[in-house]
Amino acid sequence: MIVGIATLEYLEEGDIIYIDTNGSIHTLFRKNSHHNALFITDRCNSNCLMCSQPPKNVDDLTHFFNINTSLIPLIPKDTIELGITGGEPTLLGQRFITLLDQIKDELPNTDIHILTNGRSFAWKHIPQALSSINNERIVYGIPIYSDYYKQHDYIVQAKDAFNQTVLGLHNMAKFNHRLELRIVLHKESFKRLPQLAKYIYMNFPFVEHIAFMGLEYTGYTIANKDLLWMEPTEYSDELEDAVLYLNAMGMNVSIYNLQLCLLKPSLWQFAQRSISDWKQNYLKECESCTKTERCGGVFATSKKHSQLIQAIK
Ligand code: SF4
């Protein structure tokens, strides 16, 4: 008997779902999406001011580990890309290695993108253990919000986080792990973007990609809106300075989650259609825009959008 389900039309042949003991249905994998991810835990050792999925103090590591180890063999072998996210995935400890080993065996041709705050990598045995997996398709996306330790620690609400992340990045580089840096743009991070760009070039020349990311107005951001929210056009000078500098230094830079109409034209070449398909939306203003094909639109999950979004004629 099926009750309480408005529609199943969003499901396609080949999608993978999980039916909980309470009867709720969770979609774990969508065959026609490039934005699938394994969810590891709601737990986190940071508590970022703008977290889109605020951490919960729950004992869920075994629950999600069991789901994920059952899911991985069911995922089609020709899957191009798979994310790993949380919470903080490395809190899974030794079972994180087990999971990545299983992924390498089951999905050897899939690119794996892991979102982590990188703090665990300050303990060298972890990067070392991860290198035993020997999977060159794994990239670790790690946030750094400032070149100044106090500011980074404040944004992630965790003492010593900056030092741990910086040390972690260097430890990961020593073991030749592939690394990406992620910088979320808001009122607390924008002022030092030019200094941060120089710091990145001087200290992390080994990272293969740097992503500057527009803010998703959801989760903690709503509660911290006065601290964080600003129109993207208000940080356009600092963003342009940082992006063009890193590009000139030969580093691979992208801008995620920002609409072309809010970016200086000098930055359009760096803008990616980065918003996951199930979160992507376009506004009424976009209907008459000539750049809709190139623009990634807005977060459907954001409770607020820029007032300055307007069609490019
Ligand atoms: S009007 Fe819409 S489609 Fe056009 S650039 Fe702005 S957000 Fe993108």
Relative to the CA of 309, which ligand 1 atom is closest? 6
pLDDT tens digit sequence for 270-296: 999 988 888 899 999 999 999 999 999
Q: Which two tokens stand for residue 307?
A: 């007032």
Tell me what the mean pLDDT of segment 169-175 comes to: 98
Ligand 1 lining (C-beta closer than 6 Å): 259-261, 282-283, 285-286, 289, 291-292, 295, 297, 309-312
Q: What percent of the chain has a predicted confidence (pLDDT) above 70?
A: 100
Q: How far is the CA of 288 from the centre of ligand 1 (A)?
A: 9
Q: Of the residues 264, 274, 289, 310, which should be mutated to test ligand 1's pocket, given the most ligand atoms within 8 Å of the CB?
A: 289
Q: Of the residues 291, 298, 305, 310, which should be mutated to test ligand 1's pocket, given the most ligand atoms within 8 Å of the CB?
A: 291
Q: Is the pLDDT of residue 35 over 80?
A: yes
pLDDT of residue 6: 80
Q: Of the residues 261, 273, 302, 307, which should be mutated to test ligand 1's pocket, given the most ligand atoms within 8 Å of the CB?
A: 261
Tell me what the mean pLDDT of segment 11-38 comes to: 92
Closest residue by CA, ligand 1 atom 3? 292
Q: How far is the CA of 286 from the centre of ligand 1 (A)?
A: 5
pLDDT of residue 9: 85
Q: Is the pLDDT of residue 177 over 90?
A: yes
Q: How far is CA 312 from CA 128, 235, 259, in A?
A: 49, 20, 11
Sheet holding 178-184, edge to edge: 37-39, 81-85, 111-115, 138-143, 178-184, 209-213, 253-256
117 band by pLDDT with thresholds 50, 70 and 90: very high
Tell me what the mean pLDDT of segment 189-212 comes to: 98
Q: Is the pLDDT of residue 220 over 80?
A: yes
pLDDT of residue 2: 72
Relative to the CA of 298, which ligand 1 atom is closest? 7
Give the SS3 label for residue 19: strand
DSSP state, 71?
H
Q: How far is the CA of 35 from the centre of ligand 1 (A)?
A: 22
Tell me what the mean pLDDT of segment 92-121 comes to: 98
pLDDT of residue 20: 87
CA dist., res. 221 & res. 70, Å (int): 34
Tell me what the mean pLDDT of segment 58-78 comes to: 97
Q: How far is CA 248 from CA 137, 268, 289, in A?
A: 27, 16, 30
Q: Is the pLDDT of residue 1 over 80?
A: no
Tell me what the mean pLDDT of segment 167-179 comes to: 98
Listed ranges 11-15, 23-27, 71-75; the one with the highest mean pLDDT: 71-75
pLDDT tens digit sequence for 5-24: 888 888 999 999 999 888 88
Relative to the CA of 290, which ligand 1 atom is closest? 4
Q: How far is the CA of 310 from the centre of ligand 1 (A)?
A: 6
Q: How far is the CA of 209 from the centre of ligand 1 (A)?
A: 25
Say which range, 86-95, 118-127, 243-252, 293-302, has the weakest mean pLDDT: 293-302
Q: How far is the CA of 289 from the centre of ligand 1 (A)?
A: 6
Q: Is the pLDDT of residue 65 over 80?
A: yes
Q: Are 135 and 103 in contact (CB under 8 A)?
A: yes
Give the long-range contacts of residues 67-70, CB within 8 A, separation 24 or more. 67/18, 67/28, 68/38, 68/39, 68/40, 68/99, 69/98, 69/99, 69/102
Tell me what the mean pLDDT of segment 154-177 comes to: 98
- In CATH, which superfamily holds the domain spanning 16-280? Aldolase class I (3.20.20.70)
Mean pLDDT of the chain: 95
From start to end of 128-208, where are the E strands?
138-143, 178-184
Q: Per the omega criterion (within 30 degrees of 0), is the bond before 87 cis?
A: yes
Q: How far is the CA of 130 from the centre of ligand 1 (A)?
A: 41
Q: How far is the CA of 302 from the centre of ligand 1 (A)?
A: 15
Q: How far is the CA of 284 from the centre of ligand 1 (A)?
A: 9
